[in-house]
Amino acid sequence: MSPRDHYNQYQQMEITTSSDPKKLILMLYDGCLRFLAIAEKAMEKKETEKKAIHIGKALEIISELNSCLDRKLGDEIVPFLEAMYTHMMHKLLEANLTNDPKIVQHVYRLVENLRKNWLETAISEEKKPGSKKPKAHPVVEEIASQSGPATGTYGMMAGNGKTARKVPLTFVI
């Protein structure tokens, strides 16, 4: 086995044995970001098949994130995330058809911000008094130490190009 095969086997074991849903969501966001970066580079190199494969993988992850939303919560973040994931999926399909790396970059920034907000929420939940985990998970601490993207407020665009409604990117776990 090559070192890469061992790493892939380790990653698969980590995914299948992890019982922390917060960590699994982070892993999905990280995987999506990795596939988007590969797809963008493949576009620049005119590697059509590689681009399509990695956009497809990113689409699968976003679709999975969308399907796992708890729509029973009644929280305003659920319809916002559903709209955000749908928007990203449409944009990736457009990027795949038009070979426009700027569209992939747009989706990358959205996923990056969702990941950052999810991480901040996971860390703040672990630091709350009376929480079951008084200390952050070592992987969460390692990820938190990495520099992240700028924060902001996003709104979904209405058909006329104006912002229909702005919802802050905060999460409730």
pLDDT digits (tens, 9 = 90+) for 38-97: 999 999 999 999 999 999 999 999 999 999 888 887 778 889 999 999 999 999 999 999
Q: What is the pLDDT of residues 124-152, one digit of tens each?
A: 877 776 655 434 434 344 444 444 433 33
Secondary structure letter of residue 2 according to DSSP: -
Name the phi and psi angles at 78, rounded to 5: -65, -50
CB 169 within 8 A of CB 83: no
What is the assigned CATH class of domain 20-127+134-168?
mainly alpha
Residue (of 45, 54, 26, 60) closest to 173 by Cα position: 26
Does the pTM surpass 0.85? The reply is no
Residue carrying structure tokens 């038009």: 98
The structural domains of the chain, with segments of one domain joined by +, span 20-127+134-168
Q: What is the 3-state secondary structure (H, E, C) of 67-120?
A: HCCCCCCCCCHHHHHHHHHHHHHHHHHHHHHHCCHHHHHHHHHHHHHHHHHHHH
Q: What span, in angstroms and rounded, lies between the C-alpha atoms of 104 and 91?
A: 8
